[in-house]
Amino acid sequence: MRAVRVGVIGGTGFESPAFLADARDEVVRTPYGLARAAVGRAAGFEVAFLLRHGPGHRLPPHRVNYRANVWALRELGVRRVLATAAVGALRREPGLAPGSIVLCDQFLDFTRNRPTTFFDGDPGPVRHVDMTRPYCPELRRAMREAAEALGLPVRDGGTYVCTEGPRFESAAEIRAFALLGGDVVGMTGLPEAALARELGLCYQPVALVANWAAGVGDGAVSEEEVAAALAGMRERVAALVQAALGRLAPEPACACGEAAGLG
Ligand code: HPA
């Protein structure tokens, strides 16, 4: 068994630990509350699989306990995190069509009412982590190579826009996000990515395109449409995550730890 654990955060539509062998439940007590994860094996790694929205999908995006989730993964020995995230597509492009997978490399954060940091000061330290390259190039490469090997198209690179939710966006908001350089929009990628960086964890979102965003497609955005698209992607995503794990070197050799000030 390799030493470094990998974390997988399952977002909406990717909520089964069935890709893990010998999974057992772990409850982790954190300074921010309890978090649960299934810990098992996949592709030679020990993997901790954590449901972002909690068991039974009870927490909406703005109430997810991101700090407890990320802290718990670190506590479980996780150094690298793959995180699925349902998104809408901001532009009508083939690589962004519903059913596509986007390996984002940047984000725009439009959340406004969530605890965003472990570095709250008083009495903790005041720290500012580098976010120039917010996501892990090694995890992204492993995902891209896995997709190529499996013959599954993925879009390599893209900007993830995070909104507060839980409502979907207005058509004008979506037009504005596209003008700003966004490619996909979701509600959960932040502060998760920033918190992972603050703890020195590598992090890569796996954006699952469920719909054309508001005003991009023909009609309204519906929860049913989103759920159906995600259900159609579930097996592909599980295969991809598993294959990507198989392509990871045992220890990270990227600059993510340095960006966190741990280098
Ligand atoms: N907007 C925000 N979050 C989403 C969307 C969307 O269109 N689709 C899936 N998650």
> Is the dihedral angle over the CA atoms 252, 33, 106, 232 positive or is it negative?
positive
Q: Which residue has the tokens 């472990």?
A: 118
By alpha-carbon position, which residue is closest to atom 7 of ligand 1? 88
Ligand 1 binding pocket includes 66 (Cβ within 6 Å): no
Contacts of 94 (CB under 8 A, 6+ apart): none
In terms of residue numbers, what domain contains 49?
Answer: 5-258
Structure tokens at 193: 């990515």
Structure tokens at 190: 């932040």
Q: Greater confidence, 124 or 45?
A: 45
Ligand 1 binding pocket includes 185 (Cβ within 6 Å): yes
| 17 occurs within a structural domain | yes
| 263 occurs within a structural domain | no
Ligand 1 binding pocket includes 103 (Cβ within 6 Å): no
Q: What is the pLDDT averaged over residues 169-194?
A: 98
CATH of the domain at 250: 3.40.50.1580
pLDDT tens-place string over residues 93-142: 999 999 999 999 999 999 999 999 999 988 888 999 999 999 999 999 99
| 177 occurs within a structural domain | yes
User: Rg for the chain (alpha carbons), in Å?
Assistant: 17
pLDDT of 40 over the 90 cut: yes
- pLDDT score, position 258: 86
| 130 occurs within a structural domain | yes
Ligand 1 closest atom vs CA 221: 7
CA distance 105 to 19: 25
pLDDT of 71 over the 70 cut: yes
Contacts of 24 (CB under 8 A, 6+ apart): 38, 39, 40
Ligand 1 binding pocket includes 11 (Cβ within 6 Å): no
CA distance 5 to 146: 19
Please give the C-alpha separations between residue 243 and each of 86, 150, 151, in angstroms, as whole numbers: 20, 8, 12
Domain total in the chain:
1
Q: Which helix (H) or strand (E) holds 160?
A: strand 159-163
The pLDDT-based confidence of 214 (bands split at 50, 70, 90) is: very high
Q: What are phi and psi of 61, to 5 degrees?
A: -50, -40
| 249 occurs within a structural domain | yes
Average pLDDT, the chain: 94
Ligand 1 binding pocket includes 72 (Cβ within 6 Å): no
| 136 occurs within a structural domain | yes
| 38 occurs within a structural domain | yes
- pLDDT score, position 208: 97
Distance between Cα 187 and ligand 1 center (Å): 7
Q: Which helix (H) or strand (E) holds 22?
A: strand 21-30
Mutate to test the pocket of ligand 1, among 12, 57, 185 (most ligand atoms within 8 A of CB): 185
